[in-house]
Amino acid sequence: MDNGQALERFDAYLRRRYPDRRTPVDYVSDVRQFQQACPKPWHAVSVDDMDAFVDQMRQAHLKPATIKRRVTALKVYFDFLAEETGQGDRSSPVRLRRHAGKLGRRVPRSLSDTEVAALLAVLDGERDRALVALMLRAGLRVSEVVGLTLEDIWLGVAPGVPARLRVLGKGQKERIVWLSPEATAMLTTWLAVRPSSDTTALFLNGRQQPLTVAGVQWLLKSYGRKIHVTLTPHRLRHTFARQLIEVGMPVESLARLMGHAQISTTQVYLEGADLALRDSFLQAMQRAEVGQAATQGDSNSPAQPDEPLSPDQGLVGAEPEYPPPPDTEGWATDLPEPIRQACLQYVRRHWLGWRPSQRRERALHVLGDFARFWRWVLSRRAFESPAELTAADLRAYMDERIACGHNPCTIKDALGRVFGLLHELAERGEPVSPALFRVERPRLPDPLPRALSDAEYQRLEAQGRRLLEQDTPEAARDAAWFFVLAHTGLRLCELLDLRRHDVDLRGRRLHVQGKASRERVVYLTPTAVQALQRYLRACPHPEQALLFVNARGRPLDGAWLRHQLRALAAAAGIHGVTPCRLRHTLATRLINVGAPITTLQKLLGHDYLSTTQIYARVYDATVERDYRDAMSRLERSSLTQVEADAMPVEWPVPKTTDAFASIDNSV
């Protein structure tokens, strides 16, 4: 069976299994693209071929979700052919853990209220206004919009009853969608001027034919260019959900309006519009900043709306230029070539999976760990291949590092990279001993967060406020990154990867891409909003540009920013301040003023509550207050007992119950 016949059988199988979905179209397209990149017969495809295909997709900057879908399609394809040809014991070249990777948690990206107003102002024609209204004010998917017919509309059913639509959604599931007065007016205006046509489709193109999904996407892309926003149909749907949640619609009702079979799908929209989380954070920060109001100036003034960018503004940072990969030509040439090449391939494979702002620094760090490890092991005994490593080698390395006083975290990180390399070699069929993976790595210490004291933090923040008083672009930038770090608890890598479209000044929030591409929303204090406003006025940015750049428009370097923070802290008489310590300080301050631990968990982006509870172990004002209250009650109770013991014998004794009296008599 050649590749063409195999693909035909696979297509027929998918259409039988998924008759009403797009799965057959997408999966067949994915397999066809793989066959173009790797024209080998299907039974000759190897793990290395899959590695090359995945690397090619990463180099093309495809989204992780797209890569995972294509890898999944190929896994289903090869498993199907193995069963179809009676070769069920054939090993698939697809390794989901190796090739698909982990998907991050994405927060729906909605338009800000300012962007919504700008979009409505540039819409041209009754059709486009009605089209956008159904996605923005009714939350329809683009496929649902183009599938509407004249028979699906009910206008003016009865006095006081809103207009409604019958919508055919995913999985051929119908639902009723209500229309707001604004959407009803726009739809009625379009129906009054809609050209006559043989088709009953609600929306027509210039040839009086039904409008297509691609046509709607092209229209929105054109309008997005006018307002300098990336505009998609689904982003309008996200905006609809976010706005309804913010005005208090129950999530159960929203799920029915949006056609979600599972309410957990709708709850995703709460990530970007969690009013309880926002209010809890702002109230806690307000309590934490008591005593600093005199130095805040006008920082509590309301945030101004985001100003749409105009083409003639001096934009910065349009195309970030990241440092190039390190030159590996002369790296560790003293190592045996098989070991050297295995290490270099490991770095090349992971390069595109690392954050762009961290790639070069991380590659150098990984190569340094590899060089130190293999040189030490090879100094004890000589061998050529990494598969010849033994468990005794690993244990000896750990014992020697610990005896020399190296940090256990550093040892564990270095060994983690070695284990990662060995796992990849084992997946490729190298004879790696299973005993290696049973070696236990050193146990890590459990230190407490190193937060600044209240006095230290107030001195540091006073230095940051002095930057707000300086009228230079550099001071505006430094004040912005300082208050974003200090008032949101972002990690340094999260700060450096922020883009202009992640900032919603009117909503006072940031969209943050955390570890493993897990997105979250954090909220901004008035001071942070003020600092960002000054910075963006001094240095306007296009939507997709990195937020924090230097004077030449290049990304800020992490080492440079750490140096600037140390210098700012030194001016306040404080030493040892790092971005991570600012994160610890914010968490400790919020805990001290009674912020719920679940609020802190969401703001910091922790998957597990146990991670956030580390901050609750710190000696803080909350523990001190609870201790003093408990001891006060205990001491009052003890004092009462002492006074009772000192009573004279003739003091009246309280009357006891019969049950206690019988006990006393028996004694």
Q: Residue 334 in contact with residue 343, Cβ under 8 Å?
A: no
CB atoms within 10 A of CB 54: 22
What SS3 class is residue 493?
A: helix
Name the maximum alpha-carbon separation found in the chain. 109
- Segment 617-626 long-range contacts (CB within 8 Å, at least 24 positions apart): 617/448, 618/448, 618/449, 618/451, 618/588, 618/591, 620/588, 620/591, 620/592, 621/592, 621/593, 622/591, 622/592, 622/594
Beta bridge partners of 512: 520
Among 611, 614, 542, 454, smallest CA distance to 230 is for: 542
Sheet holding 519-523, edge to edge: 503-504, 509-513, 519-523
**Burial category of 327 from C-beta neighbours within 10 Å (exposed 0-12, middle 13-18, buried 19 and up):** exposed
Among 484, 506, 480, smallest CA distance to 111 is for: 506
Specify the pairing of strand 174-178 against strand 503-504: unpaired
Residue 276's alpha-carbon distances to 250, 264, 520, 524, 627, in angstroms, are: 13, 18, 15, 14, 29
Tokens of 390: 């033994």
Q: Where are the beta strands (DSSP E) in 261-371?
A: none
Active site residues: 141, 170, 234, 237, 260, 269
Give the torsion sign (CA, 294, 536, 360, 349).
Answer: positive
The secondary structure of residue 98, as a DSSP letter, is: I
CB atoms within 10 A of CB 560: 10
